[in-house]
Amino acid sequence: MKKQKGFTLIELMVTVAVVSILASIALPAYNSYVLRSKLAEAYANLGNFRVQMEQFYQDNRNYGSTACGVDSSGNVVVAIPAAPVVKYFTYTCSMGNGAQSYIATATGVTTDSTKGFAFTIDQSNNKATTVTSAVLPGWIGNTGCWVTKQGGAC
């Protein structure tokens, strides 16, 4: 009689169980890393926008005549980030106090894991993160910074 080669059903079931346990640990961590990399778009674009707005202010002594970054001739000097630079967020800017202040906002698009996130920055470099219930579990907002990790860490 020939000796049989191969795996038993028990060995296969144990292997599947081990792989399932490892996947249940690795997948949430991976998803968190992917989301954190997407949030970097908002940090970079808002930071760059703020620098450009401050340069605009140095030249014009206001943040815009009719809208953020628009000079008195109607020329858009500082553009709000738009495609193709943006993928995961939409950006808005609102002025206040007679064009002496502004708030720029990056809001996560609804078709991605960034939905539910909103990051803001103002002329004084005050940063804040707003998080709605649409975000993955464990993410919370922070009124003093842009959240970079679960639990509200900056």
Q: What is the mean pLDDT of each run of 10 residues along the chain (154 residues)?
A: 82 94 88 91 94 94 89 88 85 91 93 91 94 80 88 83
Contact 77, 65 (CB under 8 A): no
Residue 83 vs residues 45, 86, 90, 94, 143: alpha-carbon distances, Å: 12, 5, 9, 20, 28
Cα gap 20→54, rounded to integer Å: 52
pLDDT at 1: 67
Whole-number pLDDT of residue 32 = 86
Residue 114 has which token pair?
Answer: 């960034």
The per-residue pLDDT for 28 is 84
For residues 9 and 48, give the distance between their C-alpha atoms in angstroms, rounded to a whole number: 58
Predicted pLDDT at 104: 95
